[in-house]
């Protein structure tokens, strides 16, 4: 639990209200409340600050849709009704990334219908658009770039995959765009000057590992399907790298704010620290740390040792057994809070200039808009 003297206070409302901030990216390990945090921030931006907001989740779980009162989410932003925006004029929309649908949309946008149909029927494309490593993260970047380019939103809140996958959110676009770059693939498949044979006959050794992996997915017709795939795409994928680089620059710009979301647990804090270091290396704007599910004892002035000693003195006194149990429970909570402070200190000691805010553990899971409001208020409390 970051103390006020351990790290600067994170002012989330200042970020949400700033018209210069157009993208908030929430990232962190799995199971730390990242999706809930992203939804709570988007709701607060719409209700409190009057911003036209869309929250994009990469998480296929239904938690976001359920908490916003929507029956389902898909690749198209859906407006959230029944929220309190009349006074400020904001709007809230939500969507969940469908990586294959996004890939299909890219193909339709950059090819004619006949060629698109040929691409969609190709087994290599079917496998890559659904299961290929890095495709989800690349398409998340594509979707973010599309939402940003449309200019319809005052604020885009992105809920990324768990932390290591969130790093792929930064890395995969470059890797996948290099692979899909039309010039590179055409070089591999171009006839050799000396005999007209495919260059695959000369690069089998270096390409073997990739071939084995993909053949497990799409079978022995890999080279034939890949050749047809490239022929159908022609030079279309030359734009993949350009779009990835453009979105990458947006993520480095001052209009973007990265928020790390963690819980006071060793693995989650380690992931947050790892990601913070990476953001610093990439010159990406880290706005702060949101530490979820922190335990804060009501009687913090009564330490654990004193509580246990008092409980022992009351043992055996029938009229005071309930008090003794309460003292022991308080001692356990104090010990838990102390452990959480030590764990959180690992981050704040490594990144003392990064603002942080703690969110007290809630008695129940968030499952509706009122719960999201509670979380939003807790994150933004003065």
Return the DSSP state at 255: T
Q: Is residue 190 part of a domain?
A: no
Q: Is residue 151 part of a domain?
A: yes
Q: Is residue 183 part of a domain?
A: no
Count of other CB atoms within 10 angstroms of residue 6? 15
Q: Is residue 234 part of a domain?
A: no
pLDDT for residue 1 is more than 50: no
Q: Quick one: 335 and 308 in the same domain? A: yes
Q: Is residue 6 part of a domain?
A: no
Q: Is residue 60 part of a domain?
A: yes
- What is the per-residue DSSP string for 36-73? HHHHHHHHHHHHHH--EEEEEE---SSHHHHHTT-S--
State pLDDT tens for residues 227-252: 666 666 655 666 677 777 888 889 99
**Domain CATH number, residue 21:** 3.40.50.300
Burial class from Cβ neighbours inside 10 Å (0-12, 13-18, 19+) for residue 82 reads: exposed
The greatest distance separating any two alpha carbons of the chain, rounded to the nearest whole angstrom, comes to 98
Pairwise CA distance, residues 191 & 188, whole Å: 9
Global pTM? 0.82
Pairwise CA distance, residues 287 & 368, whole Å: 27
> The tokens of 205 are what?
């050794």
- For residue 207, CA distances in Å to 183, 200, 229, 240 come to 17, 8, 17, 22
Q: Is residue 270 part of a domain?
A: yes
What 3-state DSSP class applies to 289? strand
pLDDT for residue 32 is more than 60: yes
Most confident of 129-133, 232-236, 299-303, 366-370: 366-370
According to DSSP, the β-strands at 91-96 and 155-162 are: unpaired
CB 131 within 8 A of CB 217: yes
Pairwise CA distance, residues 241 & 238, whole Å: 6
Mean pLDDT is lowest, of 74-88, 191-205, 299-313, for 191-205
> The tokens of 51 are what?
């911003």
CB 226 within 8 A of CB 122: no
Q: Is residue 116 part of a domain?
A: no
Pairwise CA distance, residues 334 & 339, whole Å: 9
CB 57 within 8 A of CB 98: no
Q: Quick one: 283 and 314 in the same domain? A: no
pLDDT for residue 212 is more than 60: no
State pLDDT tens for residues 305-343: 888 888 788 876 667 778 888 888 888 888 889 999 999
- For residue 205, CA distances in Å to 99, 197, 208, 210, 211 come to 31, 16, 5, 10, 10
Q: What's the pLDDT score for residue 199? A: 42
pLDDT band at 205 (very low <50, low <70, confident <90, very high): very low
Q: What's the pLDDT score for residue 165? A: 63
Q: Which residues face 358 on adjacent strands?
A: 291
If we measure between CA atoms, which residue out of 374, 103, 101 comes closest to residue 237? 103
Q: Quick one: 19 and 160 in the same domain? A: yes
Q: Quick one: 352 and 326 in the same domain? A: no
pLDDT band at 129 (very low <50, low <70, confident <90, very high): confident
Pairwise CA distance, residues 63 & 39, whole Å: 10
Q: Quick one: 150 and 292 in the same domain? A: yes
Total domains in the chain come to: 2
Q: What's the pLDDT score for residue 362? A: 86
State pLDDT tens for residues 151-182: 999 999 999 876 566 667 777 666 665 665 55
Chain-centroid distance of CA 57 in Å reads 7
Q: Give Cβ neighbours of residue 308 (< 8 Å, ≥ 6 apart).
A: 327, 328, 331
Q: What's the pLDDT score for residue 228? A: 67
- To the nearest whole number, what is the mean pLDDT of the chain? 81
- Where is 87: in which H helix or E strand? none
Q: Quick one: 337 and 353 in the same domain? A: no
**327 is in which domain, residue-wise?**
304-341
Chain-centroid distance of CA 206 in Å reads 34
Q: Give Cβ neighbours of residue 19 (< 8 Å, ≥ 6 apart).
A: 154
Pairwise CA distance, residues 262 & 159, whole Å: 13
Q: Quick one: 98 and 157 in the same domain? A: yes
Q: Quick one: 146 and 286 in the same domain? A: yes
């Amino acid at each position: 639990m970051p103390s006020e003297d351990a790290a600067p206070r994170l002012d989330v409302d200042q970020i949400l209200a700033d018209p210069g901030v157009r993208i908030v990216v929430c990232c962190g390990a799995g199971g730390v409340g990242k999706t809930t945090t992203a939804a709570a921030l988007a709701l607060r931006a719409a209700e409190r600050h009057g911003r036209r907001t869309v929250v994009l989740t990469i998480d296929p779980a239904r938690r976001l849709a359920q908490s916003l009162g929507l029956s389902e989410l898909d690749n198209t932003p859906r407006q959230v009704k029944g929220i309190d925006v009349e006074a400020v004029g904001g709007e809230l929309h939500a969507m969940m990334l469908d990586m294959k649908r996004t890939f299909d949309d890219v193909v339709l946008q950059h090819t004619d219908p006949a060629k698109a149909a040929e691409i969609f029927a190709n087994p290599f494309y079917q496998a890559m658009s659904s299961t290929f490593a890095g495709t989800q993260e690349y398409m998340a970047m594509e979707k973010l770039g599309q939402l940003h380019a449309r200019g319809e939103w005052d604020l885009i809140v992105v809920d990324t995959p768990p932390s290591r996958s969130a790093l792929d959110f930064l890395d995969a676009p470059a890797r996948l765009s290099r692979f899909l770059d039309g010039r590179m693939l055409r070089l591999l498949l171009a006839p050799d000057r000396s005999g007209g044979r495919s260059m695959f006959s000369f690069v089998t050794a270096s390409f073997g590992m990739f071939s084995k992996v993909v053949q497990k997915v799409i079978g022995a017709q890999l080279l034939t399907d890949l050749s047809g795939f490239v022929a159908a795409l022609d030079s279309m994928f030359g734009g993949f790298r350009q779009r990835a680089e453009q979105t990458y620059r947006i993520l480095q710009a001052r209009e973007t704010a990265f928020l790390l979301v963690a819980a006071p647990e060793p693995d989650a804090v380690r992931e947050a620290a790892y990601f913070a270091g990476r953001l610093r290396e990439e010159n990406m704007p880290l706005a702060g740390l949101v530490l979820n599910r922190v335990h804060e004892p009501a009687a913090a002035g009564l330490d654990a040792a004193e509580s246990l000693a008092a409980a022992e003195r009351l043992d055996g006194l029938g009229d005071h057994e309930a008090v003794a149990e309460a003292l022991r429970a308080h001692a356990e909570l104090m010990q838990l809070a102390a452990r959480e402070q030590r764990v959180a200190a690992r981050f704040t000691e490594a990144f003392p200039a990064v603002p942080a805010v703690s969110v007290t553990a809630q008695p129940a899971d968030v499952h509706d808009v009122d719960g999201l409001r509670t979380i939003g208020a807790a994150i933004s409390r003065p």
